[in-house]
A and B are shown apart, each in its own frame.
Chain A
Amino acid sequence: MTHCRREAMHAQWDILLDDEFIEAWIHGIVIECCDGIKRRFYPRIFTYSADYPEK
């Protein structure tokens, strides 16, 4: 039971954090902001506030 729940959560996060996201994490995403300046954005995860569905 616990194993299934943990695997389920990990499998879904594995899909969510896809290769495209990993690429953006390492190399950044270039976006022309609304003020006309191009910036390279590096996504970083700071918080994850959630219930723990694995329990």
Chain B
Amino acid sequence: MDSSSTLVVEDGQSLAQRRPRRIIALPPRYRYEDDLPVALPSVSSSSEAAIAPPITPQIDGNPHTSSLISKVSKFFKTRRNAFGLWRKYTTEKPPTHDPEQHVTLKNLVDYETQQSQSTIADFGPYPNENSYLLGQWYWNHGTQKSKESFQDLLSIVSNSEFKPEDVANTPWRQIDAQLATNPFDGEDHEWMDEDAGWHRKPVKIPVPFHSRTKQPGVEEFYLGDFYHRPLVEVIKAKLLDPEHHTRFHYEPFELWWTPSGASSTSRVHGELYTSPAFIESYQAVLESANEPGCTLEKVVFGMMFASDATLLTNFGDAKLWPGYLYCGNDTKYARCQPSSNCCEHVAYFQAVSCSLLHSVYRWAHYRR
């Protein structure tokens, strides 16, 4: 008996399991722990020295220059964060609301943590899980019996969680009727809903006809009904939403990057609320005259419209042209996630239909 067979007996491992393993090294970029993303530096973390001392105006007798210098030199800076990023506000004081202090690692990564999935299960019209499983089995397994389907049914009823009393009193007929109803049934059901805030307005477009046509002059043609939501209502709803409030930047700032050990700084572009256009617009609003008797903080609400044609069916040309509104005070990382509910439908544009063009053509060439 050789030594290797003794070993097999000793630790119960086969020859293949005992062979030496090759050590596979990860590529260098994965070997070191990566820096985790962090939020921008908080405004409360800024030291008293971070506020740049106003430059003493030069005594050159020109009041315009001195006021300009003092205006320019007053800004509020934050400390650098781990990546060397820092914020510079165009105002003297720190902002009254800082969304970055609410930012945690969870907001910055896509990785879903286990805890967030432990929500209370909702079985729709079904009163409990067992009723739901049976209902699901009945509707979703085709009309014909099969062995697989039978196995599925057995696995439902043989489960230790299964209780006959759960399904004995389930109002099956009622639930099926509830499942069959379509919330969009009935004309104008959705549009006329007051809570949805949609308005409908007929649109007419003027079409001029030159003097050599049968009926010269301007004639109005009916385009269709234009469905829209009043923008002011949409803005109000957005601003009153507590979830959006935590993410909104009410004051724009410049984002700068100073790498550790480097003497040069560079401007970082990326968000609407750090863009020169937003800052410029904010300055214009600040410098404009206040409303009479109003001392409230003035804020710019950045509106970003988007619209694109959406084909409704695979065949035919049923099309919708929805108009969307995004808010630029929100971070782009929230805007790009459908789950964050940042996008607001504000309108459904009507396109020029063939029948309208046909009636325009008829108007030009024939007398009614």
Contact = CB atoms under 8 A, between A and B. Distances in A.
Asked if A and B are interacting partners, one says: yes
Given A15-B203, A33-B97, A34-B240, A28 B298 contact: yes
Interface in B283-320: 285, 291, 294, 296-309
B250 A16 contact: no
Interface in B158-192: none
Contact of B352 (A8, A17, A51): A8
A41 B235 contact: yes
Contact of A40 (B201, B294, B303): B294
B296 A39 contact: yes
Contacts of A30: 294, 296
Contact of A44 (B207, B230, B281, B307): B281
Contact of B291 (A17, A34, A39, A40): A40
Nearest to A37: B96
Contact of B357 (A4, A39, A42, A49): A4
A4 B352 contact: yes
Interface of A: 1, 3-5, 7-9, 11-12, 15-18, 20-21, 24, 27-31, 33-35, 37-51, 53
A42 B299 contact: yes
B226 interface: yes
Given A18-B231, A33-B240, A51-B307, 7 more contacts: A4-B205, A12-B228, A37-B97, A40-B299, A44-B302, A50-B307, A50-B308
Contacts of A21: 230-232
A30 B250 CA distance: 13
Interface stretch (B38-46, B47-55, B342-350): B342-350
Contacts of A5: 351-352
Contact of B97 (A35, A38, A47): A35
Contacts of A42: 285, 298-301
A3 B357 CA distance: 11
B304 A40 contact: no
B82 interface: no
A33 B242 CA distance: 8
B35 to A, nearest CB: 31
A47 B239 contact: no
B223 interface: yes
Contacts of A29: 232, 235-236
Nearest to B309: A51
B204 interface: yes
A38 B308 CA distance: 35
Given A7-B207, A29-B236, A46-B278, A12 B349 contact: yes
B303 A11 contact: no
A30 B298 CA distance: 9
B68 to A, nearest CB: 24
B105 interface: no
6 contacts: A7-B205, A8-B205, A21-B232, A24-B231, A37-B297, A53-B351
Nearest to B308: A51
B307 A17 contact: no
B209 to A, nearest CB: 11
B74 interface: no
